Amino acid sequence: MCGVAFLFDDSRPEVRGERMARCLQRMVHRGPDAGAWQDLSPAAIGHRRLSIIDLAGSPQPLSDPTGRYWLSYNGEIYNYAPLRQSLASRWQFRSGGDTEVLLAGLILEGHDFLHRCEGMWAFVLWDTHTRSALLGRDRMGKKPLFFSELPGAGLACASELAALRTLIPGALDEDLDSAADFLRFGYVLPGTTLWRSIAEILPGHIGRWSSSGGLRQSPWWQLTLRPSPQSEADAVGALQHALEESVRKRLVADVEVGAFLSGGVDSSLICALASRSLDRRLKTFTIGFDEVAFDERRYARDVASHLNTEHHEEVLSDWDEAHLECLLLAHVGQAFGDASLLPTALVSRVAARHVKVALSGDGGDELFSGYQRYQARNILRWYTRLPRSVRHLAERAIRALPEPTAHHSRSLLKKAHLFLDVVGRQQAETPYVAPLMFAPDTFAALAPALAGRGHPAPGLPECAHPDDIARMMQADALVYLPQDILVKVDRASMACSLESRAPFLDREVVELAFSMPRHWHRRGTRGKRMLQQAFASRLPDGIWQRRKQGFGVPIHSWFRGALGERLAKLARDAGDGVLEPTAVDALLDAHRAGRRDHGYRLWTLYAYLLWRQNAR
């Protein structure tokens, strides 16, 4: 994986060069193997490289033989070999990797070439003759690309926010609409950032920029949700072939490929399929916790033993403030509400000691109905039919009892409290975008300055099987996945110079999953039915029967200790009226006293306040 940088402005060449050098230095972790930039005044294009394919060749930025076009590209195109053959009659290749294949394809066929590409990418293609840039991003948004249109008809682009900021002169203003989105959902919405002057290329989009016309985005790919013409049995066979082929493609590299293994269905299945495709033992990697309720090492060991992998694990005993804040500020570059960023970074660090590429199970929950909130929505349908008096009595009784901490997350009382959160937020979730961090009345007390703020909900394509749970799955795949899960995995793995690949997010697998009726995926209380139908024999029965645990973090206990003190101080020091310190203290007090488990809400506030303190 790599880091991309581009700058077009009216500064002196030496100033532009200094900025480009600082930008690339901020992304050394994304590409420690090589770094270079090219002065194309009034533009400069740069690149950091993590060598995975064609290790000695394919330097970047890469130009065509005439020097007209220059490409900086981050990603992998898994089918580059057949694409190269199809272009060979029209292009004389000088290297053996996928970078020149992308360059040639874009020059010869324009952005339509992207429809033929399978993989993950973000790129900038600069045309020195027309002084125009083409920016592009893969279908699901696996690889990031941020940009800012500069005063004086300029443009700056980079793979990470902290790097991009080195290319932008002057102070930046906060986008309060994005701040409201973040505090509601735990992440910003697609295409936006917490800065008003910085945006992101949308997944499945290209951006065309010129100094006279600015940057305009348009979709080159959209998820088409057509009902499957297949029978369920045929769909099972198609899923077997698609996922097996996806894993096989993602094992292609000139370096060793390993895999993350939590012991859950998704990562275990990817490891099982990878092990069958290799002529060596697969290396697998797990992170554990001292708190038993969050520790999945025993499950991962069982799977590793079953598959005969070379297994490696470490334990996260406590939160590391310096490492945590470095991840949030230097790598994510803005507030980020998913606390599993820290263990993801640590398991990536374990993997990076042994391999340069790791497969992950990301996308399995969104595509195959793995989240428990889908079942909660089913229960909500029944619950809302009860008389109002009965509902109010039940809610008062539950609220009167202290909420168990995440140690007892499977208890009936814990589930009842979580369900009441769903009930309290249901009106605000229409149209559905994501689960809300705070009920509307709590949000109003916490952030009165953000009342009525927020970007419009992103539009979603027409659903093949229109019901509320199918729409939830769609929104999770097209909003939550690229804005939370893929951000977390990209920044955490790249912080360790490790490339992560997600076989579930292959185009064919994604489109196949969303062509299936929702009831194929979930029966009763269990999801991922189609995965089990297709691959039951590949894993022990115990893995399929395990309750979903998720990549949880014991932040409930962290906020009862030093991290809680850190949050309280951040709230007191903010002093600008966006968040009400007394409301933050009230949430923290209820959490410390054990009346409510506000761990993940407190994390969201901590991440936001930490970012604001350092963004000034």
Give the whole-number percent of the chain exceeding pLDDT 90: 68
Tell me what pLDDT residue 312 has.
97
- Of the spans 457-466, 548-557, 580-589, which averages the highest pLDDT? 580-589
Ranking 57-61, 425-429, 471-475 by mean pLDDT, the lowest is 425-429
Q: Can you tell me the distance from the alpha carbon of 175 to that of 179, in angstroms, rounded to the nearest whole number? A: 6
Instruction: Find all residues with CB under 8 Å of 556, minimum gap 6, and list them.
Output: 405, 406, 407, 591, 597, 599
pLDDT in tens, 562-615: 899 999 999 999 877 799 999 999 999 999 998 888 999 999 999 999 999 998
Give the three-state DSSP class for 502.
coil
147, 136 contact by CB (below 8 A)? no
The secondary structure of 330-375, three-state, reads HHHCCCCCCCCHHHHHHHHHHHHCCCCEEECCCCHHHHHCCCHHHH
Question: Is a pLDDT exceeding 90 seen at residue 391?
Answer: no
Identify which has the larger pLDDT, 150 or 433.
150
pLDDT exceeds cutoff 50 at 161 = yes
Out of 286-300, 312-326, 370-384, 445-459, least confident range: 370-384
Exposure of 32 in the CB half-sphere (CA atoms within 13 A): 9
DSSP state of 174: B
Q: What is residue 426's predicted lDDT score, i.e. its pLDDT?
A: 56
Which tens digit of pLDDT belongs to each residue from 221-242?
A: 998 777 777 899 999 999 999 9
pLDDT digits (tens, 9 = 90+) for 75-129: 999 999 999 999 999 999 999 999 999 999 999 999 999 999 999 999 999 999 9
β partners of residue 313: 286
Find the mean pLDDT for residues 387-402: 70
Residue 408: per-residue pLDDT: 42
SS (H, E, C) 217-274: EEECCCCCCCCCCCCHHHHHHHHHHHHHHHHHHHCCCCCCEEEECCCCHHHHHHHHHH
Does residue 31 carry a pLDDT above 80?
yes
pLDDT at 407: 46
Please return the burial class of 117, using the count of CB atoms within 10 Å of its CB with bins 0-12, 13-18 and 19+.
Answer: buried
Range 177-192 average pLDDT: 96
Distance CA 384, CA 612 (A): 40
- 263 or 414: which carries more pLDDT confidence? 263
CA distance 465 to 410: 31
Average pLDDT of span 388-397:
72
d(CA 229, CA 232): 10
Residue 548 has pLDDT above 70, yes or no: no
Spell out the SS3 assignment of 40-74.
Answer: ECCEEEEEEECCCCCCCCCCCCEECCCCCEEEEEE
pLDDT for position 104: 99
> What is the rounded distance in angstroms from the CA atom of residue 360 to the CA atom of residue 379?
31
pLDDT at 15: 94
- Across the range 301-317, mean pLDDT stands at 93
Instruction: Decide: 564 and 571 in contact? Cβ < 8 Å.
Output: no
2-219: CATH number: 3.60.20.10
The answer to which of 268-277, 425-434, 588-597 has the lowest mean pLDDT is 425-434
Closest listed residue to residue 299, CA positions, set 543, 552, 547, 548: 543
Q: Do 51 and 33 form a contact (C-beta atoms < 8 A)?
A: yes
> What's the CATH fold of domain 223-444+451-548?
Rossmann fold (3.40.50)
Give the number of other Cβ atoms within 10 Å of residue 615's Cβ. Answer: 17
| Amino acid 34: pLDDT | 94
Averaged confidence pLDDT in the chain: 90
Judged against a pLDDT cut of 90, whether residue 276 lies above it is answered with yes
pLDDT for residue 409 is more than 70: no
pLDDT the model gives residue 393: 77
Given pLDDT bands bounded at 50, 70 and 90, which one contains residue 285?
very high
Residue extents of the structural domains in the chain: 2-219, 223-444+451-548
Burial class (CB in 10 A: 0-12, 13-18, 19+), 62: buried
